[in-house]
Amino acid sequence: MSRPVARVLVLLELLQSGGLRTVAELADRLGVDERTVRRYADHLLDLDVPVESVRGRYGGYRLASGYRMPPLMLSDDEALAVLLGLLAGRRAGLLTAAGTASDTAAAKIRRVLPERLGRRLDAVLDSLAFTAPPGTSTAPEAGVLLPIADAVRHHRPVALRYVAADGRRSDRTLHPHGLVAHSGKWYVTGADLTVGEDRTFRLDRIDHARTLPGSFDPPVSFDPAERLLSVLATAPYRHEVAVLVRGAADAVRDRLPAGLAVVADVAPEDRPEPGPGVWSRVEMRVERLDWLPAVLASLDRPFVIERPDELRGLVIAFAARLADSARSGPPTEE
């Protein structure tokens, strides 16, 4: 797109934001002189865009009242932000009442996008999984997300330039199996050909992504979201925690934050007490223990701490603080 044409489109976008824009303001925003602004406005008139010229000291340009412009042309990043915003909003339950409206809005945006961009965004939506309501974080760059999503959808290898948490840089070749959004962060899971193992990478740590020639056969019945949660729950941390909780594994797992723990049913011979009751083992790896007593209390189920012993003292102290608070009455007025 030539620079004059691009600036005419920017002028159109500025006028679509509403209100009267002075020639001086438009010239400053476009980086041109006022005479050029007037020429760009004439270009819009030639395209049957009803630009009105307002004369006088505070005159300028505006669009005719009530005129409805055709849909805006969106950049890759803008289109991605809009569609992912609608998708994440529905996932978080923010658009439940207007679910139909969000679907039709996404469909309208999709229809007016250039075919190339539309195909790439379809790849993102088809390959993306959510494990939990979205959190707050920086969205991945379109230049990284779009090629990875395309590689996931079409089973193509992808070359990555990755920066680890400790700052080390490496070049990887990945057979990507899926994209996952978890607690505000974005991940790609797949087979890392560089080390010959399945790996998970955070998208915000990928400097560059490029699809490669060829294709691969994806694994059968592979769940990227389940894989990510397993990786997060078993990652090496300072403390290894194991707690027996009364209740079936599915029921206990539903009461814990996604990705926090690995939960499995306990065999009858390993239960902490005899009888027909069902117990589960909850295993976690964490950096700190101080927040776990509140999590265990929120389960509202009997539990037995297997390890570490330090957690027992923290639970006892937490229970004592709750008891003291419950016994305390409101302050008396003098």
55: tokens are: 């004369």
Residue 19 confidence (pLDDT):
80
Residue 93 confidence (pLDDT):
47
Matching residue, tokens 């009997």: 302
Q: Give, as one character, the DSSP assignment of residue 211.
A: E
Residue 275 confidence (pLDDT):
61
Average pLDDT, the chain: 80
Residue 234 confidence (pLDDT):
66
- Say yes or no to pLDDT of 132 above 80: no
DSSP string, 107-176: HHHHHHS-HHHHHHHHHHHHHEEESSS--S-PPPPHHHHHHHHHHHHHT--EEEEEE-TTS-EEEEEEEE
Domains (range + CATH), the chain: 3-63 (1.10.10.10), 76-230 (2.30.30.520), 236-326 (3.30.70)
Q: Quickly count: other Cβ atoms within 10 Å of residue 145's Cβ.
A: 27
Tens of pLDDT along 89-113?
655 544 444 445 556 666 666 666 6
d(CA 282, CA 262): 6
Tens of pLDDT along 311-322?
999 999 999 999
- The larger pLDDT score, comparing residue 44 to residue 91, is at 44
Nearest CA-CA partner of 141 in 208, 89, 198, 193:
208
Residue 139 confidence (pLDDT):
62
Is the model's pTM score more than 0.85? no
Mean pLDDT of 198-202: 88
Mean pLDDT of 27-36: 89
- Say yes or no to pLDDT of 5 above 90: no
Based on C-alpha coordinates, what's the Rg of the chain? 28
Q: Which H helix or E strand runs over 36?
A: helix 34-46
Residue 314 confidence (pLDDT):
94
Tens of pLDDT along 172-184?
999 999 888 876 7
Residue 119 confidence (pLDDT):
76
Tens of pLDDT along 66-87?
666 555 566 666 776 777 666 6
CA angle centred on 313, ends 309 and 316, rounded to 5°: 135
- The larger pLDDT score, comparing residue 306 to residue 117, is at 306
Residue 105 confidence (pLDDT):
65
